[in-house]
Structure 1
């Protein structure tokens, strides 16, 4: 996990499990439409597959930061799946053995026949790892 300032004032977040070849998800090109809505691009990479959405629009009511903060708080685990979604991005979290959170990121271009979707799974350590992801996303989304 890393929050990187690519140019002054412009950040990107890369969520990646351990290992050089681990699947990764990159959120970048953040912009604000108004006080309630912002957008960013998402790129998912896994085993030679690369999917990219140029615009994922999120509102303050979508509570994306709150979703990740909740995952970080519950580092002892939970049963079943927790899901955050909007029109083009779905994040499904499950708690697995060894104290790891499995984040399944699904990018989808639309809802009609012929539209594509891509899913990659990043594996994050439940304690400090998930806390770092939540903090980096909160900073990226500018929801301090």
Structure 2
């Protein structure tokens, strides 16, 4: 299963050329990640931190008044980290492919922590292959 976040575009997201600035895409990923992880029924309120981002810019996104979709899914679950993979896209165009390594974090103890059984079960529901691997397998 995959999670879809409908991300609004803002005037401030544009660069001098009228395109969404590359740095802004990291904020879009953050908004999608928060929408995914911090829900009333399933959440990571114990805390988490980002350990790594990778982002591949595929095509420029021109500012417009309707949202862009940020589709995300889990590609790896380890004992104390997991990887979220994203595509920022419209139905027929991918603007960005990215991934983020997230580490659950105990803010009281100020150290990383292991993924709980409940968190692992939630993440497993969204486990899927990266889009490139699916294309090769097809």
Same fold at TM > 0.5: no
TM-score scaled by structure 1?
A: 0.28
Ranked by relative contact order (alpha carbons within 8 Å, sequence separation 6 or more), the top structure is 2
Q: Which has the higher strand share?
A: 1
TM-score scaled by structure 2?
A: 0.29
Bigger-Rg structure (1/2): 2
